[in-house]
Structure 1
């Protein structure tokens, strides 16, 4: 089909819930994508952080194909090898104790918050159920995860929202202490606020929050839906903050392009959720888990160091352009943001770049760069050249 034919079918049959760019993706290789007519795009989105290994990565394709030939789904009433092996690797690499699998980031965060409330209910009884999140955060689009999201722009239309949430300013311990109370069971935060603008939290603040949680037996919940699975330059961003959370959610890159998510708990929380208290039909799908095993095999310590090096190279190259529309860069690994100067609109800049062959994202008022972790230096240089040509005037 041509791009126009696909546009027409989309307009006729697909709900208009996304502000899609007028681009059709047909196939890809590495960090480069092509439309049906052969137009080339350097991909700095990786499906919003999902396609960690890029496109056409043979070990990933082979693992999916081999598992599909064996069994595609059986439900969680039976045992399967791939999700068990993946859970073992995740726990050993993070120091966590148990894994629960789900399908998307919102669902993973719902499970995390259910676990926190049940932990507190089991130990303290009713009334200790409030979860504190940070302003400018984003935790999902289901009702509870949407309520947990600390951005007023998302809190509309779907009233009434879920009870039991309060918000504190990021990097402001006094703001957090002001909303603490005997009814709080958990504090949930992204270590790098993704949708809010690629804003890493301060080390001292994170350490203080972790200490506060330990003092009050309040669970520390870390949302690594976007920052996890190598994106920050370590397997999980919390490993660079020298903390050990009670529960960590993950999604996006975990299966390199297939729908998979979940959360890990420490030993304290490992037995909170028991049969009948939580579940999901497709979580731990063996094809997704087989893909996830390839992701873990690929993300060696040396590979993760290269992610950091590529991120530093990319930031230096963007700032070296001295474009009038761009300010400083920020972020960790290959989860990077660019400040947009006053007088410019990030969505307009994104459209210009996309029209000229660079797929890029926005976040907050800035730009967001999430290239596949396997992006080559040649592809980075090609993207920088597009920025210079398109935005340098």
Structure 2
């Protein structure tokens, strides 16, 4: 059992779910790390040479602004702290609120972050255009998905979340559970399928763009006719299915795994007609107060050790092909290829048609944001 899952079993599920939508701050104290004058090497992989490590240690800490849920972000950063000996400070906000803070601080010349993580590609682009990021390529750049990285590594994907169908195992059998997005249209799920609405964030926009591009706008209309239970947050949907208020719903892997691995009565299916994935776009802040500590963190995040921690401690998929997928109750989830992951952030429409398509979705589903 890894450190994160052991810790989760000691907490209440409500605490985990509440953390996913809370604006958070705080720090982690320094852990172990290499001895003075030594580089950071893990399992034979050099993550930072001695000069970078010494410069980072002189700075002492790294400040991370992230839209990843607090519990998962801390679990990964705690692993980094243990490996590197560097302390961290964390500011966690939902994607839109995080971008507002980042852009406001950037405009005032007072951005407090050393590393910025944004799970909404459109917002990451807006931050890039505002000068938030300084180009920085980690040593393991070639192990990352090349189609997602510009030549200067202005920002890059550090981890992937995946949209899955979840169901309450006390109410729905595995055999009866919906295995695909088409299955969700079965009349048995009318008024019973719970899902966060399209405007919740970049991840739900990715989900609905995939469905529209693959199945056409008619699928949106058919799904709306099912009278799904729409919520303003993914945590509300997850909590509703865990409690049995809705027997089936939509969630992302990291949050669902937190609940499953601590005993919640839910299971997940990767839709056989496509599972929408979204990345956490990560980069070095242009005016970082602790640039060397930030580079050590970014190098670690791209390394096999960091990617393994992202999977085992945070429950997300690695962006590297040489790192195994997450586990649920000790059983490995499908690989990216097996799960038929689709990356809507690579579609031109993700940026160009967002306002138009979202307005159409809101009208079709008769939802007031």
Q: Give the TM-score taking structure 1 as reference length.
A: 0.28
Q: Give the TM-score taking structure 2 as reference length.
A: 0.29
Higher-Rg member (1/2): 1
